[in-house]
Amino acid sequence: MQNIRNIAIIAHVDHGKTTLVDKIIHASKIFGEHQQFDDLILDNNDLERERGITIVSKNVSVRYKDVKINIIDTPGHADFGGEVERVLKMADGVLLLVDAFEGAMPQTRFVLSKAIDLGLKPIVVVNKVDKENCRPDEVHEQVFDLMFNLGATEDQLDFVTLYGSSKQGWMSRDWKQKTEDITPLLDAIIEVIPPAPFIEGTPQMQVTSLDYSAFVGRIAIGRVHRGTLKEGANMSLMKADGSVKKVKIKELQVFEGLGKAKVAEVQAGEICAVTGIEGFDIGDTIADAENPEALSRISIDEPTMNMLFTINNSPFFGKEGKFVTSRHLRDRLYKETEKNLALRVQETDREDTFLVYGRGILHLSVLIETMRREGYELQVGQPQVLYKEDDNGNRLEPIEHLVVDVPEETAGKVIELVTMRKGELTIMEPKGDLQHLEFNIPSRGLIGLRNNVLTATAGEAIMNHRFQSYEPYKGGIPGRISGSLISMEAGAATAYTLDKMQDRGEFFIDPGEEVYGGQVIGEHTRPNDLTINLQKGKKLTNMRASGSDENVKIQPKRQFSLEDAMEYIQKDEYLEVTPKSIRMRKILLDENERLRYAKKAD
């Protein structure tokens, strides 16, 4: 047996996973006294820091009492479930982190079910016991019930529970007794999580993650399942289609602290990075050169949503981005599928248009946001959910489990909004000073729902959802009830016209902002679309009369985040995304063309 523990940290979004990993890193004295680090060492890309969520799983290791602990920090959001499913294969146990007030949330259930299916040993950490209204004992019971319902074994149900605050940096077996540091957690990991076993035989390693270096190219990361990998050894790469390719290991590295250390060989049970292997994909097996044996491939849940991605062909094309052609777009999307397992790209009958399949709005929006930061210009269509058919030819649609925590006085409005979109209320109970609501709702009913709920509750609702199952089609759902205000011509919008048009709706642009014909510039107060001219200025004469020049008072424009805009657009609209701007536009920019198309459709 080796002195290695492989552990994955799983939790719902914002329950404190990455903060806890930070504290473990500090406790193990990886850094010298002189080194200074910001909070959230592992959330190292800009998007993760801005949104406060983990998007890509990370590997680090710490040493404690002569034991090496490999820690895998996983995303908490169900949209990034593809990441979680594959990295759990590298672990022997999981650290389940639960908020002492919120308890087990939808995504907790999602990632925990994957860990229990793989037979991993859990340690439960009830975090944030320093919060007001926290209820650690109730939450402990809730986690036990959840594990039981998910079919956990007796060994898994006999879990160790620790209480504490990862922000304050302490953990204890009793939440009423505050300790000095988080060493009780590290002791529990060594005591409870089984050591990584050494399995003898011919070498086998499954690629579960990948890294990239400008010097050595793509790097395969995974856990050695059997035998010993050696530097310079000839191996076989076993692909998804059954083909076997001869490869050679150039270099082997293991995770030490926040970095990697070069080694001559890696034994079974250790997580390592392999360089020098070309043409591999996630799920491939690196096996013996003479007697190659493949490990079973990683299965990933199906996507539930797709979006049309196309090149930017608006009048402002090429003004703000570096990568604007269909070749750029194609290469970037296919490059993403290499490491983003839950994402799929399908070509259409047009060279410059692709259908991209993902787990949800957040999953797709992170890809779009990453691309725009890299300098890409593109347009995307309205998100569409994916339907299936059962054996009798009936249409099935994805249903999500939606959880909303909301102040009691606005619970009625939320229930009304969700049931209008074919949601069914399953649970309603008090939770502290909030009302806890649970619904089953079609995935398409969620598109645009968050905005409406936040507006109705003055921003106080906490919403979470996860995919549940495919069920029979629930019928039509009312979409956005208001039409769009559309610009008639290109040019800068004048304050004079914006002021005069304020009774027609709410605007998405400021005075002086450049717009083009066919751009969606606001929301109409009525259900139909309205094309307006914003470039008209005030007629100037020599005559001046006191009182005729009233002050222009214009409401501030409505700001959209990328996800808000993706949920807002209609079927006949595109979202134009560039490194500096997010604009909405009609697919057909010319008003006469739109009218002709509408007549044909009727």
CA 392 vs CA 388, 389, 395, 398, 465: distances in Å: 11, 8, 9, 18, 29
570 close to 584: Cβ distance less than 8 angstroms: no
- Helix, strand, or coil (residue 505): strand
**Rg of the chain over CA atoms, in angstroms?**
27
70 is in an annotated binding site: no
The residue count for the chain: 602
| Helix or strand (DSSP H, E) at 142 | helix 136-149
16 is in an annotated binding site: yes
368 close to 311: Cβ distance less than 8 angstroms: no
Strand 4-11 to strand 67-73: parallel, antiparallel, or no bridges (unpaired)?
parallel
Q: In what order do the strands lie in the sheet with 170-172?
A: 58-64, 67-73, 4-11, 93-99, 121-127, 160-165, 170-172
15 is in an annotated binding site: yes
128 is in an annotated binding site: yes
Kindly give, in sequence order, each residue whose CB lies less than 8 Å from that of residue 250, ignoring residues fewer than 6 positions away: 216, 231, 232, 275, 276, 277
327 close to 400: Cβ distance less than 8 angstroms: no
Q: Tokens in use for 547?
A: 């009182």
CA 516 vs CA 252, 389, 560, 588: distances in Å: 55, 42, 19, 12
DSSP label at 408?
G
335 close to 371: Cβ distance less than 8 angstroms: no
130 is in an annotated binding site: yes
246 close to 279: Cβ distance less than 8 angstroms: no
253 close to 224: Cβ distance less than 8 angstroms: no
Q: Which residue type is seen at 125?
A: V
18 is in an annotated binding site: yes
Residue 559 φ then ψ, to 5°: -95, 140
CA 341 vs CA 77, 85, 117, 302, 427: distances in Å: 15, 10, 20, 10, 34
- The CA distance from 562 to 282, in Å, is 29
232 is in an annotated binding site: no
276: left (phi over 0), alpha (psi -120 to 50) or beta: left
Kindly give, in sequence order, each residue whose CB lies less than 8 Å from that of residue 27, ignoring residues fewer than 6 positions away: 62, 64, 169, 181, 182, 183, 186
Q: Tokens in use for 197?
A: 């076993």
CA atoms within 13 Å, Cβ hemisphere of 156? 26
Closest alpha carbon to 238 in 197, 295, 173: 295
129 is in an annotated binding site: yes
Closest alpha carbon to 474 in 444, 449, 453, 451: 444
Q: Supply the DSSP string of 12-34, one letter for each residue.
A: -TTSSHHHHHHHHHHHTT-S-TT
* Known binding positions for GTP: 14-19, 127-130
* Known binding positions: 14-19, 127-130
